[in-house]
């Protein structure tokens, strides 16, 4: 199995149930341990509290980074803070991140086991049958985890679209507030009727921008609700 030299940067993932002060210590300690090292290597310590990026093979580390990038896009947006937090809390997003990281670590460890099992030389027909089924199980697990990452990325894209629509709405609303000044300017300079109509249309454009914002916000809300975890029984 190839190492992770030059692999994309991913952050350590702490179990959301860990207290904040302990979480900060685990992140600091994990970053110190992985500095300048390549993986994957088996994680031995604090497995139920933190997932180290060093414990992930290259493709798994890329998946984790994608999930973390999507979550960062979501929680850092004004649209999320103002309109979407009720649909999916940040704690839910962090639980998704944790479960993704744990699954990717398990996939990596199974891949390491396969490499070790095959190190003895040419596999016979019975061994090959077992290897095929085990590889298929890993593929199924990776695909399921990838689907969860894609759901996060879809939500991030919807949030980004809603954020852009919000900025457009705010800008058009601010500009439309100056309509009277422009109309006065047109009147004073005896501009033709066409210019007056164009300026008046700014109000209509502001309304269209507001509608676009509402529609993109609705799509982002639907994407967020799809990620809500079921209530524990």
Whether 19 shows a pLDDT value over 80: the answer reads yes
116 touches 6 (CB < 8 A):
no
Residue 1 lies inside a defined structural domain of this protein = no
How many structural domains are present in the chain? 1
Q: Is residue 44 very low, low, confident or very high in pLDDT (cuts 50, 70, 90)?
A: very high
Residue 163 lies inside a defined structural domain of this protein = yes
174 touches 91 (CB < 8 A):
no
Domain of residue 88 covers: 13-225
Determine what percent of the chain is predicted with pLDDT higher than 70.
79
Rounded to 5°, angle at Cα 140 from 154 and 123: 145
| pLDDT of the residue at 8 | 56
Residue 6 lies inside a defined structural domain of this protein = no
Residue 188 lies inside a defined structural domain of this protein = yes
Residue 125 lies inside a defined structural domain of this protein = yes
| pLDDT of the residue at 199 | 47
Whether 125 shows a pLDDT value over 90: the answer reads no
Residue 26 lies inside a defined structural domain of this protein = yes
pLDDT digits (tens, 9 = 90+) for 63-81: 999 999 999 998 898 888 8
Q: Is residue 206 very low, low, confident or very high in pLDDT (cuts 50, 70, 90)?
A: low
Residue 34 lies inside a defined structural domain of this protein = yes
Residue 4 lies inside a defined structural domain of this protein = no
Whether 32 shows a pLDDT value over 80: the answer reads yes
> In the predicted model, what is the mean pLDDT of residues 132-143?
90
């Amino acid at each position: 199995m190839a190492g992770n030299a030059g692999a994309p940067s991913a952050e350590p993932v702490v179990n959301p149930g860990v207290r904040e002060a302990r979480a900060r210590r685990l992140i600091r300690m994990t970053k110190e341990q992985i500095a300048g090292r390549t993986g994957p290597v088996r994680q031995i310590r604090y497995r139920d509290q933190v997932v180290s990026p060093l414990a992930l093979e290259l493709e798994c580390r890329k998946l984790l980074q994608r999930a973390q990038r999507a979550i960062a896009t979501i929680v850092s947006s004004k649209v999320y803070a103002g309109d979407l937090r009720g649909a999916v809390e940040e704690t839910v997003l962090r639980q998704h991140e944790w479960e993704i990281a744990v699954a990717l670590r398990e996939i990596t460890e199974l891949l390491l086991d396969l490499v070790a099992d095959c190190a003895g030389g040419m596999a016979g027909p019975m061994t090959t049958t077992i290897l095929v089924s085990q590889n298929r199980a890993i593929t199924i697990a990776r695909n399921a985890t990838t689907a969860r990452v894609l759901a996060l990325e879809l939500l991030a894209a919807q949030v980004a679209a809603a954020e852009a629509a919000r900025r457009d709405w705010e800008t058009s609303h601010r500009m439309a507030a100056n309509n009277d000044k422009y109309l006065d300017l047109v009147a004073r300079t005896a501009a033709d009727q066409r210019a007056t109509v164009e300026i008046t249309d700014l109000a209509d454009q502001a309304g269209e921008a507001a509608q676009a914002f509402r529609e993109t916000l609705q799509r982002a809300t639907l994407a967020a609700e799809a990620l809500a975890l079921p209530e524990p029984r």
